[in-house]
Amino acid sequence: MRRYVAKVFDSSRWDGFAVRSGDIIISTPPKCGTTWTQMICALLVLQESELPLPLDTLSPWIDMVTRARTEVFADLEYQTHRRFIKTHTPLDGIPSDSRVTYICVGRDPRDVALSMDRHIDNMDIGAFVKARERAAAIDGIELGPLHPPRPRPDRERDRFWQWVEDETPSTQAGSSLRFTIEHLQTFWHATDDLDIVFLHYDELQADLEGQMRQLAAHLDIEVDKDQWPRLVEAATLQSMRARADTTVAAGREHWINPAAFFSRGTSGQWRNLLDDADLARYTARVRVLASDDDLIRWLHRESID
């Protein structure tokens, strides 16, 4: 498998992990609706609106370097319910198995860029460093140097372009337009060989119950009709924000404000930032990175030409 390594994750942590028949692997580029999809899967699998454990424990991020891999594997081995596992690693960096259902989630990359910008501001870097060191000590790993992040421009528009035009190879990028598109492309071209479900952030916003019902049918999960209203309500971003201490990604200790992790949760935020010249520049960049017109239209929910 191809190895993807960034400051917060390392796909080699999948090495030695044994998948089970029926496993669900939620693989998304960052800030595309990962935690939302994990919550939906938790509600469908467990059929309880109140989770018995924090979401990041029920659905661990195997690649994340702030939890000891031995602990994550032990938690997953102990689970007797159908497992639903998070990753930000593209398909060519995780186990490929016909017994697994893969859920790949897309979002307009222009909104991803703005969401990631706020995400970085909300991170508790000190807590991340301490957790990383603890996990490495448990796993017996000698840590390499943690290089300081590159300077971030003062202006929001400039930070947007830094994300869009980042040329860092996807195998080393935590998040960028290049990584987002290349991640999705690994799934887009694999539907003939694997069981892959594509979800889109905008469709989850527009018809959450309909999307949940379709996913349940695909996963062959039966839900009593009387349970649907409370499960759908528990899956709303408003409900998740209200319970951020248990629903936030990676655990509440990694965030300055756990509730702010869910931020606005809206689409089209980029319209207030980008003018016509910006959009033409953005389109040209997408065309350099993306090889499939159908993927471009699906991702943006419109033609961008």
Catalytic residue among 88, 119, 183, 300, which? Answer: 88
Length of the chain as a residue count: 305
Label residues 86-121 b or e (16+ Cβ within 10 Å = b): bbbbbbbbbeeeeebbbbbbbbbbbbbbbbbbebee
> Can you spell out the DSSP letters for 208-240?
HHHHHHHHHHHTT----TTTHHHHHHHHSHHHH
How far out from the chain centre does Cα 116 lie?
Answer: 11
Question: Tokens for 28?
Answer: 């998304």
Torsional class of 236: left (φ above 0), alpha (ψ -120 to 50), beta (otherwise): beta
Q: Is 300 a catalytic residue?
A: no
| Residue 268 burial (CB count, 10 A) | 11
Q: What are phi and psi of 195, to 5 degrees?
A: -85, 100
Which residue spans within the chain are E strands per DSSP? Answer: 24-27, 84-87, 101-106, 195-200
d(CA 127, CA 125): 5
d(CA 286, CA 149): 25
> Can you spell out the DSSP letters for 237-272?
HHHHHHTHHHHSTT-GGGBSSGGGGG----S-GGGG
Residues assigned a catalytic role: 88
